[in-house]
């Protein structure tokens, strides 16, 4: 069975954004894990391809690791970094064809430049969409300033992957003194799902009904919360003229990936909530184990046709990407 993994991170050491002091970003993780991740983020042939080969992953869809360029305060540097990152990504994809695909970085510090870069990345570089690491300097994508980007996504027919950021937009008192709760344990999922709900309640999908957003990590909590969301929504007086329930927007405008959630009960519940055609395979390389992710999917209690949809067919349809 073929496999396409669509949330797989990389980094380029020569980006200006890389000069941001990483020591200011606290990490609760053990040094040996941080060292392993750092070595693999900048590699494509020594570790990455052999791990793909050993586990039967045909294609990794690459994207710039969090926080990407979202925290670059200098707009000109953000625009330059996005171009250089996307050019380098396209070169990597072409050099190792057909083993990699790519999602573009966007300089959302300037929405007009981001829309132009998205079009260039898709039309000229043949990338398959874009990935944004949550907020950009505290700005969220439901703001009307970003409508030009949503319009470009809709016109091009490509998805936006909404990924967590390792830089918080603000301080959560509930996390104080408990660094274990920061990151993928809790805070990243909560902030990213909150961003996704902002898109719904900000009317993004009323204005751009043909756009698609990808959420990783089994949907960042949301598929398991539809009943509560819909019940609360019926009592709300919303600022935007919303014509659907949250679960309906999710069904029409979102897909999810399995990245980092190797749980059969969670997978089966997510499939029930969003439908088999809206679940895609991902590893979350290099932060998660490819072997574990593949074994999880291969042993899931699914019909072979459904397993194939998650493993590669849904990714082919969404990204117009062929595995070999």
**Which residues are known to be catalytic?**
284
Residues 6+ positions from 317 with CB-CB distance below 8 Å: none
CA distance 61 to 104: 10
Beta bridge mates, 256 = 215, 279
Torsion of CA 33, 36, 42, 44, to 10 degrees: -130
Q: In this structure, are residues 285 and 258 in contact, taking their beta carbons and an 8 Å threshold?
A: no
Q: In this structure, are residues 258 and 218 in contact, taking their beta carbons and an 8 Å threshold?
A: yes
CA distance 272 to 47: 36
Q: In this structure, are residues 1 and 307 in contact, taking their beta carbons and an 8 Å threshold?
A: yes
Q: In this structure, are residues 25 and 303 in contact, taking their beta carbons and an 8 Å threshold?
A: no
């Amino acid at each position: 069975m073929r496999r396409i993994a669509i949330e797989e991170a990389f980094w380029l050491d020569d980006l200006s954004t890389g000069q941001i002091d990483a020591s200011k970003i606290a990490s609760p993780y053990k040094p040996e894990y941080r060292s392993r991740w750092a070595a693999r983020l900048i590699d494509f042939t020594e570790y990455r391809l052999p791990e793909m080969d050993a586990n039967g992953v045909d294609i990794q869809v690459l994207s710039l690791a969090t926080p990407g360029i979202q925290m670059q305060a200098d707009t000109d540097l953000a625009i330059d970094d996005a171009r250089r990152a996307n050019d380098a990504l396209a070169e990597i994809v072409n050099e190792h064809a057909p083993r990699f695909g790519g999602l573009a970085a966007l300089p959302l510090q300037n929405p007009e430049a981001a829309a132009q870069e998205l079009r260039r990345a898709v039309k000229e570089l043949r990338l398959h969409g874009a990935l944004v690491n949550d907020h950009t300097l505290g700005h969220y994508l439901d703001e009307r300033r970003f409508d030009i980007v949503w319009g470009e996504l809709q016109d091009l027919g490509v998805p936006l992957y909404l990924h967590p950021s390792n830089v918080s937009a603000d301080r959560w008192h509930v996390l104080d003194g408990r660094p274990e709760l920061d990151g993928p344990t809790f805070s990243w999922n909560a902030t990213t799902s909150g961003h996704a709900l902002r898109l719904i309640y900000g009317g993004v999908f009323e204005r751009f009904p043909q756009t698609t957003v990808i959420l990783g990590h089994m949907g960042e909590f949301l598929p398991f919360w539809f009943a509560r969301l819909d019940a609360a929504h019926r009592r709300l007086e919303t600022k935007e003229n919303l014509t659907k329930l949250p679960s309906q927007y999710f069904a029409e405008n979102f897909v999810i990936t399995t990245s980092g959630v190797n749980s059969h009960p969670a997978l089966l519940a997510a499939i029930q909530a969003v439908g088999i055609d809206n679940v895609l395979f991902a590893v979350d390389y290099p932060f998660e184990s490819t072997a574990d992710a593949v074994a999880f999917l291969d042993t899931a209690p699914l019909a072979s046709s459904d397993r194939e949809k998650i493993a590669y067919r849904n990714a082919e349809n969404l990204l117009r990407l062929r595995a070999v």
